[in-house]
């Protein structure tokens, strides 16, 4: 298990994230297997399945042009969006530590 995965609950759900190798932008894995710049376009998977998915993706990271692939536990917000559970991942997903020029929002 990745050390960043220690905050995942057994019965929760996670999204897969990474950084794009060419520009360092945070990306999120969508249902079709593509990588999107917005977490709102990602697809949650159950935490019981995430480790298997991560194992298959981490072996192809260089081929995919990605670094640091790992899972992020998420929860549904009252307005139906998926939101990371931890503050660190909320900042990665929504800012504000990224200059607006470089933020996807």
Q: Left, alpha or beta for 73 (phi > 0: left; psi -120 to 50: alpha)?
A: beta
Residue 11's pLDDT band (cuts 50, 70, 90) = confident
- Alpha carbons 73 and 47: distance in angstroms, whole number: 8
pTM: 0.82
Strands 45-46 and 26-29, by their bridges, are unpaired
pLDDT for residue 3 is more than 70:
no
Length of the chain: 105
pLDDT in tens, 52-95: 999 999 999 999 999 999 999 999 989 989 999 998 899 889 87
Mean pLDDT of the region 27-49:
95
**Cα dist from 74 to 3, 59, 60, 83, whole Å:** 17, 24, 24, 5
Residue 4's pLDDT band (cuts 50, 70, 90) = low
């Amino acid at each position: 298990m990745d050390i960043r995965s220690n905050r995942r609950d057994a019965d929760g759900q996670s999204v897969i994230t990474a950084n794009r190798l060419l520009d360092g932008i945070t990306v999120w894995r969508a249902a079709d297997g593509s990588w999107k710049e917005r977490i709102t376009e990602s697809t949650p998977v159950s935490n019981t399945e995430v480790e298997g998915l991560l194992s298959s993706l981490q072996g192809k990271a260089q081929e995919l042009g990605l670094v640091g692939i790992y899972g992020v536990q998420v929860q549904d917000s009252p307005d139906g969006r998926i939101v990371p559970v931890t503050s660190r991942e909320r900042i990665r997903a929504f800012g504000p530590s990224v200059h607006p020029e470089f933020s996807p929002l």
